[in-house]
Amino acid sequence: MTYDYDLFIMGAGSAGAAAASKAASLGLRVAVAEQEALGGTCLNRGCIPKKLIVYAADFALHNKIAPDYGWSKSSSHFNWTQFIRSVHKQIDRINTSYKERFEKNGITLLRGHATFIDAHTIKVDEHKVSADKILIAVGARPFIPDIPGIEYAITSREMFHLPYLPKRLAIIGGGYIGVEFASMMNALGCRVTVIDTSETILEGFDDDIRKSLQESLSKRGVKFINNSTATEIKHYEEGLLLTVSGKYKKTIAADSILVATGRAPNTEKLDLDNAQVEMGEKNAIKVDEYSRTNQENIFAVGDCTNRLQLTPAAKSEAVAFVNTIFANHTETVNYNEIPSAVFARPEIASMGMTENQARSKFGDSVKCYSNKFQPLMHQLASTEEQVIIKVVVEGESERVIGIHMLGEHAADIIQCLGVAIRKGITKQDLDEAIAIHPTTAEEFLTLD
């Protein structure tokens, strides 16, 4: 049987684009269907525009301490409309580079919505194509809880298209998205309230780190309502009213309400039944460690499989899939080795086990080294800004199994240390390394 393509990919987000480039580099005939802009969530409505807003918000935070560094106080005005226009121009430039890369690598791009006709045939709008292997890389979308008035709320997607900055912003959900937007919108001058069902924000991160981040954001003016959930949204003449219940019962007035309660796989409109592809929990595509579905020629990677919804995870799964299936090089993704960060201010980042995870796995053989200090920049400015670093080690050799940080440049520092930790370094290796002084990162080398 001959097919139009060796590999057909549904979705040109982080995962789909990475798989397409890798497969094309092996000389395969590759086609990709994309119904929206190339680059998917990360480029168009996720990591990239988010990080640009983080940079914009950093100016506001630096302006606050600038007088301590000799700058005279000056009034400054932030123009959100102008700024967000620049953000979208930058995204358009990157979109164009994606398109050029596809053309250069001989990847066929089919614009439209892809659905299954059978296990080897796909329809992209009205265009029918066949392929030997099919990769589902359709990503995820915001999960919207079913509460009365939820239609008045917006998601992270709309946050990047706000016509103006809301004065009062309520955020349902204190996970990655809720906390990042709380931090940047607070810095830009919004009055922010975060409602979360958990005792502390950012479940999954080390307890010391997430508690300290919640405290730091509270000191900056973000209000947190924990152990609670949103139960109703109503429209009134001056904006929106959000009813909260649980440990705290309140009504909050807001101009905008952001719902950030997780992301649901985009698996509903693919006609998966036509190819008899099985779904798992939460409508995710069910896959094995090689990203194989129950159909031998159909695979799935990225957010639609709901393993770890991060861009580097999506890309690694995509490359591992291509290497395993087409390059005769079996590869799986080690999820314990994937670092992650929350781009709040202060920033947090971590890799490996939290203290609790380590203690429940290894018991008393676990030891933690930590330090809390005021970073140099903030000593002169006399702000309360803190840095916390924590290293989790195990056994007599004191092998490092987890590193965690709150504070400036946390993501960049953990990224670099992560390379060494992946190679199995010990606490002694950290102690013996020579520092760059004066830096924040050097504190990892002098823990006792």
Ligand X SMILES: Cc1cc2nc3c(=O)[nH]c(=O)nc-3n(C[C@H](O)[C@H](O)[C@H](O)COP(=O)(O)OP(=O)(O)OC[C@H]3O[C@@H](n4cnc5c(N)ncnc54)[C@H](O)[C@@H]3O)c2cc1C
Ligand Y SMILES: NC(=O)c1ccc[n+]([C@@H]2O[C@H](COP(=O)([O-])OP(=O)(O)OC[C@H]3O[C@@H](n4cnc5c(N)ncnc54)[C@H](O)[C@@H]3O)[C@@H](O)[C@H]2O)c1
Binding site members: 51, 173-180, 262, 303
Contact status, residue 12 vs residue 314, Cβ threshold 8 Å? no
Site residues (CB under 6 A) for ligand Y?
145, 172-178, 180, 195-198, 203, 229-230, 260-263, 309-310, 340-343
Rule CB under 6 A: which of 85-124 touch ligand X?
113-114
Interacting residue with ligand X among 19, 31, 42, 400 (CB under 6 A): 42
**Which of ligand X, ligand Y, none does 28 bind, CB closer than 5 to 8 A by kind?**
none
Site for ligand X in 341-380 (CB under 6 A): none
Q: How far is the CB of 392 from ligand X (least distance, A)?
A: 22
Kindly tell me which residue out of 303, 347, 355, 443 binds ligand X, with binding defined by CB under 6 A. Answer: 303
Q: Write phi, then psi, for 166 (nearest 5 degrees).
A: -70, 145
Which element (helix H / strand E) includes 88?
helix 80-104
Give the catalytic positions in this structure: 437
Residue 145 interacting partner from ligand X, ligand Y, none (CB closer than 5 to 8 Å by kind)? ligand Y
> Which residue in 7, 8, 9, 16 binds ligand X (CB under 6 A)?
16
Task: Quickly list H helices, 306-426.
Answer: 311-326, 355-362, 376-381, 410-422
CA distances from 154 to 134, 159, 240, 259, 349 (A): 34, 7, 12, 6, 27
Cβ(54)–Cβ(180) under 8 Å? yes
Contacts for 50 with CB less than 8 Å, ≥ 6 apart:
156, 180, 184, 343
Of 156 and 440, nearer to ligand Y (C-beta) is 156
Contact 246, 230 (CB under 8 A): no
Is the link from the previous residue into 346 a cis peptide, with omega within 30 of 0?
yes
Beta carbon nearer to ligand Y, 114 or 244? 244
116 vs 176 by CB, closer to ligand Y: 176
Work out what residue 11 binds among ligand Y, ligand X, none; the CB cut-off runs from 5 to 8 Å by kind: ligand X
Of the candidates 258, 83, 251, the one whose C-alpha atom is nearest the C-alpha of residue 183 is 258
* Residue 298 beta carbon to ligand Y: minimum distance, rounded to whole angstroms: 24
Residue whose C-beta lies closest to ligand Y: 175
314 binds ligand X (CB under 6 A): yes
Which residues are annotated binding-site positions for FAD?
Answer: 51, 303
Q: Which is nearer to ligand X, 50 or 133 (CB)?
A: 50
The correct pick among 9, 33, 107, 403 for binding ligand X (CB under 6 A) is 33
Tokens 């398109």 correspond to what residue?
99
Query: Whole-number minimum distance, CB 260 to ligand X, in Å?
Result: 8
Which of ligand X, ligand Y, none binds 350 (CB below 5-8 Å, type-dependent)? Answer: none
Count of all residues that appear for the chain in the document: 448
Binding flag, residue 11, ligand X (CB under 6 A): yes
Q: How far is the CB of 135 from ligand X (least distance, A)?
A: 10
Specify whether the CB–CB gap between 179 and 213 falls below 8 A. Answer: yes
Residues in contact with ligand X, counted by CB under 6 A, come to a total of: 33
- Residue 367's contacts (CB-CB under 8 Å, 6 or more residues apart) are 392, 393, 394, 398
Residues 136-195 that bind ligand X (CB under 6 A): 137-139, 156, 177
* Alpha-carbon distances of 388 from 183, 213, 347, 430, rounded to whole Å: 18, 10, 11, 17
Query: In this structure, what DSSP letter does residue 279 have?
Result: B
Least separation, in Å, of the C-beta of 379 and ligand X? 29
First CA to last CA across the chain, in angstroms? 65
Binding flag, residue 47, ligand X (CB under 6 A): yes
The token duo for 199 is 């005792």
Residues near ligand X (CB under 6 A) are 10-16, 33-36, 40-42, 46-47, 50, 113-114, 137-139, 156, 177, 266, 270, 302-303, 309-312, 314
